[in-house]
Amino acid sequence: MVQSPLKLITANEFVTQYGDSDRYELIDGELIEMEPTGPHEQVSSLIGRKLNVEIDHQDLPYFIPHRCLIKLLGTNTAFRPDVIVLDQTQLINEPLWQKEPVITSGKSIKLIAEVVSTNWQNDYARKVEDYALLAVPEYWIVDYLGIGGREYIGKIKLPTITICTLVEDEYQKRLFQNNDQLLSSIFPNLQLTAKQVFASGGVIAM
Could you report the per-residue pLDDT of 33-72, keeping only the tens digit for each? 887 789 999 999 999 999 999 999 999 999 999 989 999 9
Reduced 3-state DSSP string for 88-146 = HHHHHHCCCCCCCCEECCHHHEEEEEEECCCCHHHHHHHHHHHHHHCCCCEEEEEECCC
What are 73-130's pLDDT values in tens digits? 889 999 999 999 999 999 999 999 999 999 999 999 999 999 998 778 889 999 999 9
Question: Helix, strand, coil shares of the chain as percentages rounded to 5?
Answer: 30, 25, 45
Could you tell me which residues come within 8 angstroms of residue 159 by beta carbon, excluding any fewer than 6 positions away? Answer: 143, 144, 145, 146, 177, 194, 198, 203, 205
Q: What pLDDT is attached to residue 152? A: 86
CA-to-CA distance for 24 and 31, rounded, in angstroms? 6
Q: What is the pTM of this model?
A: 0.92
Cα separation of 182 and 9, whole Å? 38
Looking at residue 3, its pLDDT comes to 44
For residue 156, is pLDDT > 90? no
